[in-house]
Structure 1
Amino acid sequence: MTELVKREDSNGLATLTLNRPDKMNALTVQMFMELHEHVAQLEQQTEQIGAVLLRGAGRCFSAGNDLHDIAAGKPLPMPHLQARTIDRLARLPQPVITAVHSHCYTGALELALAGDLIVASESARFADTHAKWALTPLWGMSQRLPRRVGAARAREMMLLGRSYSGKQAENMGLANFCVADDVFDAELEKLARELLAGSWFSHRANKRLLLETDGLSLDAGLAHEVFRNAGKGPDMQERIAAFGKK
């Protein structure tokens, strides 16, 4: 049986690949079940895995939710499986990079927004088309999109259903980086290695601070940082010593 979400590990990087290339990686219940299992494993592997890369196989990241899957009304193995999986992915201890090439529509955009960093190819196309199908978001669009691009731009995307290129996504802050298609894989590898070169302890601690203080007032956030930070990492002395030898 074909894995609908494949995992490959390489030197501290876990790559999760949406694997329905013949269906443009349209998202199904089974795909989310497999993704949920991978995320649950990654939560327990902070010493072996320092970062996670989410991408799509074949021609695109994902064309979005499989409309045939919606119409079939397949029962979920747990309530709100998709929303829970995306939220769990977003809250992984490790930083998550989402790599988007070509289509990234609606449900796929909700999934992509779980990334701490989003890298787009020039061919990327981002859109929220819920309104086209008389649907409303259930997987986080109304909350994560405005936090990423601002309320005004989120309203534009959600109400008009327009698509945006990789460069437009970078300019509006939806994507952190936009790179040419012919160097997309190489730039992803370079970025992942740059990220992994930093302290995995610090990455986890910084991500936790950002998640825990989201929505707090400045005073409350500052107090949280001072009194609930993780302190020094076990690799601090080693890193300082290595720097002193340069």
Structure 2
Amino acid sequence: MSSDRTDTPGEPPLLIEHSGRVRTLVLNRPEVRNALSSGLIDALRTELANAGRADDVDVVILTGAGSAFCAGLDLAELGSSTESARLLDHADVPVGHPWRPIPKPIIGAVNGVAATGGLELALACDVLIASDRARFVDTHSRVGVLPGWGLTSRLPEAVGRGFARRMSLSGEFVDAETALRVGLVTEVVAHDRLMASAMDLAMSIAGSDQLAVRTMLDSYRRAEQHLVGPALDAEKDTSVQWMADFDPARVADRRSGIVERGRAGR
């Protein structure tokens, strides 16, 4: 397995690893729990698009470096500018998607906390596997921002209407076993087995007829569109209205409390 650096000099925000016909993308800002800076979002979108076009890639695995999967948008950056917020409305990305969908399955290997925008990244994957250390939380209402990557559509689709609203309105953490019980993830494995389990699944998918895999995946997505499409549009309208009066300073004021709460697991 090899790793490529996405930018030099210094540590890149995204690592790329290869094994057979599987490409693994690793969010690589562990010092800030893989919070999504504008640079990391751009790199992730670029490399997913590259994987979608690559003839030697059948499956993508998305995971995080260190102890977290992704803590969501970088609150320090969001609190000082609107650059991260503008990236929610990228001209090349369809409404309600964190990246342009690719014709190949994406497996999310959730190694730690998936919070807010990080939860939306996880929900945009086709299949989720979780470490027993994984935790899931939606803190949009606590931070004072609104989702724009499809959370209000995909979360209730995954866990049901009531549980989704409980997560979003309370900001409570959900552990890995609960996530499995409510249908957010398909499997929970010991932390040191996470990547091996994700790779086993990826290799199994890669061993299938790829025309059939991609046609089936497209069929699933088109079948969901009559429900997902209007919900994504509603979320987009709400987000646009919210951002019209958005005050980055309000996010900055709440940042410390959110970070400390996350460390305590509340």
Which TM-score tier does this pair reach, normalised by the shorter chain? 0.7 to 0.9
Matched, 1:66 2:88: no
Q: What one-letter code is carried by the residue in structure 2 that aligns with 1:13?
A: V
Residue-by-residue CA offset, 1:55-113 (whole Å, 9 max, x unaligned): 00111111222110101215368671399387264721000000112211101000111
Higher RCO, Cα 8 Å, sep 6+? 2
Say yes or no: does 1:187 pair with 2:209.
no
Contact 1:131 1:161 in 2 (8 A): yes
- 1:82–1:183 distance in 2 versus 1, CA, 3 Å: farther
**Can you give the 5+ residue segments of structure 1 that lack an aligned partner in the other structure?**
218-246
User: Match of 2:73, SS?
Assistant: coil
CA change 1:83–1:62 in 2 (3 A) is: farther
Does the aligned pair in 1 maintain the 2:60–2:104 contact within 8 Å?
Answer: yes
- Which residue of structure 2 aligns with residue 30 of structure 1? 39
* TM-score for both structures, normalised by structure 1: 0.81
Superposed counterparts of 1:157-196, under 5 Å: 157-196=167-206
1:151 maps to: 161
Match of 2:136 among 126, 141, 147: 126
Per-residue displacement from partner, 1:138-186 (whole Å, max 9, x unpaired)? 1211111112112121111111111111111111000111111132222
**Residue pairs, 1:97-108, within 5 angstroms:** 97-108=107-118
**Which of 51, 55, 58 is the matching residue for 1:42?**
51
Shift of 1:197: 1.3
Structure 2 partner of 1:226: none
Closer, same or farther in 2 for the Cα pair 1:160/1:10, shift >3 Å?
A: same
Task: Kindly provide the amino acid, as one letter, of the partner of residue 36 in structure 1.
Answer: R
Where does the alignment leave 5 or more consecutive residues of structure 2 unmatched?
Answer: 1-8, 228-266
- Bigger radius of gyration: 1
Change (3 A) 1:188 1:88: same
User: How many residue pairs are counted as aligned between the two chains?
Assistant: 216
From 56, 60, 76, give the equivalent of 1:52. Answer: 60
Coordinate RMSD, CA, aligned = 2.2
Deviation at 1:127?
A: 0.5
Structure 1 residue runs of 4 or more that deviate by more than 4 Å after TM superposition: 76-79
> Counterpart in 1 of 2:256?
none
Distance 1:103 1:83, change over 3 A: farther
| Secondary structure of residue in 2 paired with 1:104 | strand
- Identify which range, 76-85 or 63-72, moves more after superposition: 76-85
Quick one: distance in 2 between partners of 1:151 and 1:93?
A: 28
The 8 Å contact of residues 133 and 191 in structure 2, kept in 1 or not, is answered as yes
Is the 8 Å Cα contact of residues 83 and 138 (structure 1) preserved in structure 2? no
3-state SS of paired residue (2:103): coil
Task: Give the direction of change, closer, same or farther, for the CA distance of 1:43–1:193 in structure 2 (3 Å limit).
Answer: closer
Deviates more, 1:132-141 or 1:50-59: 132-141
